[in-house]
Chains A and B, each alone.
Chain A
Amino acid sequence: MSLLEVNDLAVSFVTRMGTNRAVDGISFSVDIGKITAIIGESGSGKSVACYSMLGLVPMPPGRIDGGSALFEGQDLLQMSEDQLREIRGRDIAMIFQDPMTCLNPFMTIGKQLMEPLLYHKDVSKQDARARALELLEEVGIRDPETTFDNYPHQFSGGMRQRVMIAMALINEPKLLIADEPTTALDVTIQAQILKLIADLQKNRDIGVIFISHDLAVVADIADQIVVMQQGKIVEGGDSEHIFHHAEHPYTKKLLAAIPADSKAPMPGEPETLIAVRNLCTWFEQGKGKEPVKAVNDVSFDIKRGEVLGLVGESGSGKSTIGRSILRLVPVTSGAVDFDGTDVTGLEGGELKRFRRRMQMIFQDPFASLNPRMTVFDTLAEPLLLHGIENRKSVASGVLKLMDDVGLARNFVRKYPHEFSGGQRQRIAIGRALATRPEFIVADEPVSALDVTIQAQILDLMQELGKEYGLTMLFVSHDLAVVRHLADRILVLYKGEIVEQGTGEELFERPQQDYTRQLLSSIPGRALLE
Chain B
Amino acid sequence: MWRFIGIRLLQAIPVILVVITVTFFLVRVAPGGPFSAEKAVLPEVKAALEAQYRLDLPLFQQYVAYLGDLAQGEFGPSFKYPGRSVNELIGAGLPVTAELGLYALLVAVVIGGIAGVIAALKPNTAQDYIPMTAAMIGICMPSFLLGPLLVLVFGIYLDWLPVSGWGDIPGDKILPAITLGSAYAAYIARLSRAGMLEVMSQDYIRTARAKGLPEWQVVVKHGLRGGLIPVVAFLGPAFAGLLAGSFVVETIFQIPGLGRFYVQAAFNRDYTMILGTTVFLSTLIVLFNLLSDILAAWMNPRLRAQFGEN
Say whether A associates with B.
yes
> In the complex, which residue of chain A has the Cβ closest to the Cβ of B302?
A153
In angstroms, Cα B217 to Cα A467, docked, is: 58
Contact A119 B213 (CB under 8 A): yes
CA distance A62 to B290 in the complex (A): 45
Q: Is the interface of A mostly helix, strand, loop or mixed?
A: mixed
B302 touches A88 (CB 8 A): no
For residue A107, CB closer than 8 A to chain B, the reply is yes
Residue of A nearest to B204 (CB): A104
Interface check B8, CB cutoff 8 A: no
Instruction: Determine the residue in chain A with the shortest Cβ distance to B224.
Output: A106
| List of A residues within 8 angstroms of B212 by Cβ | 85-90, 116, 119-120
Contact check, B203 vs A88: say whether CB atoms are below 8 A apart. Answer: no
Say yes or no for A94: interface residue by CB 8 A criterion.
Answer: yes
Query: Does B226 belong to the interface (CB within 8 Å)?
Result: yes
- Complex Cα distance, B226 from A295, in Å, reads 36
Chain A residue with Cβ nearest B211? A89
Partner of B203, one of A101, A107, A153, A154: A101
Residue of B nearest to A285 (CB): B309
Closest A residue to B209 by CB, please name it: A56
**Which residue of A93, A105, A120 contacts B210 across the interface (Cβ within 8 Å)?**
A93
Structural contact, A89 and B213, CB atoms closer than 8 A: yes
Q: Is A115 an interface residue (CB 8 A)?
A: yes
A96: contacting residue among B203, B213, B214, B299, CB under 8 A: B203
Which residues of B are found within 8 Å of A120, using beta-carbon distances? Answer: 212
Q: Mark A104-119, 1 if CB is under 8 A from B, else 0.
A: 1111000000011001
**Which one of A85, A87, A104, A286 lies within 8 Å of B207 (CB-CB)?**
A104
* B residues near A98, Cβ cutoff 8 Å: 203
Chain A residue at minimal CB-CB distance from B222: A104
Binary interface encoding of chain B residues 178-222 relative to chain A, with 1 for a CB under 8 A from any of its CBs, else 0: 000000000000000000000000111011111111100100011
Measured between C-beta atoms, what is the minimum distance from B298 to chain A in Å?
11
B204 and A102 form a contact (CB under 8 A): yes
Assess the A153–B305 pair: CB atoms within 8 A: yes
Find the A residue at minimum CB distance from B208.
Answer: A104
Asked whether any CB of chain B lies closer than 8 Å to the CB of A54, the reply is: yes
Query: Counting CB contacts under 8 A, is A415 at the interface?
Result: no
- CB contacts (< 8 Å) of A154 on chain B: these are 305
Complex Cα–Cα for A98 and B204 (A): 10
Q: Is A103 an interface residue (CB 8 A)?
A: yes
Nearest chain-A residue to B303 (Cβ)?
A: A153
Mask of A128-169 contacts with B, CB within 8 angstroms, 1/0: 000000000000000000000001011000000000100100
Q: What chain A residues lie within 8 Å of B204 (beta carbons)? A: 101-105
Contacts known (A87-B212, A153-B301, A153-B305); A102 close to B207, Cβ less than 8 A: yes
How extensive is the interface on chain A, given as a class?
A: 20 to 34
- State whether A88 touches B209 (Cβ < 8 A): yes
Shortest CB-to-CB span from A121 to chain B, Å, is 11
Q: Chain A nearest CB: distance from B262 CB in Å?
A: 41
Please state if A103 and B207 are interface contacts (CB–CB under 8 Å).
yes
Interface string of A55-96 (1 = CB under 8 A from B): 010000000000000000000000000000111111001101
B225 interface contact, C-beta 8 A: yes
List residues of chain B with CB within 8 A of the CB of A167: 207, 211
The CA of A90 and the CA of B213, in the complex, are separated in Å by 11
| B300: interface (CB < 8 Å) | yes
A88 to B212, CA, bound (A): 5
A164 vs B210: C-alpha distance when bound (angstroms): 12
Scoring B residues 209 to 248 as 1 if CB is less than 8 Å from chain A, else 0, what string do you get? 1111110010001100110000000000000000000000
Cβ B211 vs Cβ A88 within 8 A = yes
Question: Shortest CB–CB separation between residue B205 and chain A, in angstroms?
Answer: 8
Report chain B residues within 8 Å CB of A93: 210
Q: Looking across the interface, which residue of chain A has its beta carbon closest to that of B299?
A: A106
**Which of A106, A116, A151, A153 touches B211 (beta carbons < 8 Å)?**
A116
Query: Could you say which residues of chain B place their CB within 8 Å of the CB of A106?
Result: 225-226, 299-301
In the docked arrangement, what's the CA distance between A125 and B42, Å? 85
* Chain B: minimal CB distance from A241 (Å): 32
Complex partner residue of A102 from B206, B226, B299, CB under 8 angstroms: B206
B102 to chain A, nearest CB (A): 27
Of the A-B pairs whose beta carbons lie under 8 Å apart in the complex, a sample of 26, sorted by A's number, is: A54-B210, A56-B206, A56-B210, A85-B212, A88-B209, A89-B212, A89-B213, A90-B212, A94-B207, A96-B210, A101-B204, A103-B207, A104-B208, A106-B225, A106-B226, A107-B221, A115-B211, A115-B213, A116-B213, A119-B211, A119-B213, A119-B217, A120-B212, A154-B305, A164-B207, A286-B309
Identify the B interface with A (CB < 8 A): 202-204, 206-214, 217, 221-222, 225-226, 299-302, 305, 309-310
Sample of 4 further A-B pairs with CB below 8 A, known A88-B212, A89-B213, A115-B221: A85-B212, A106-B300, A120-B212, A286-B309
8 smallest CB-CB distances across A and B, nearest first, come from A89-B212, A88-B212, A89-B211, A151-B301, A101-B203, A106-B225, A116-B211, A104-B204
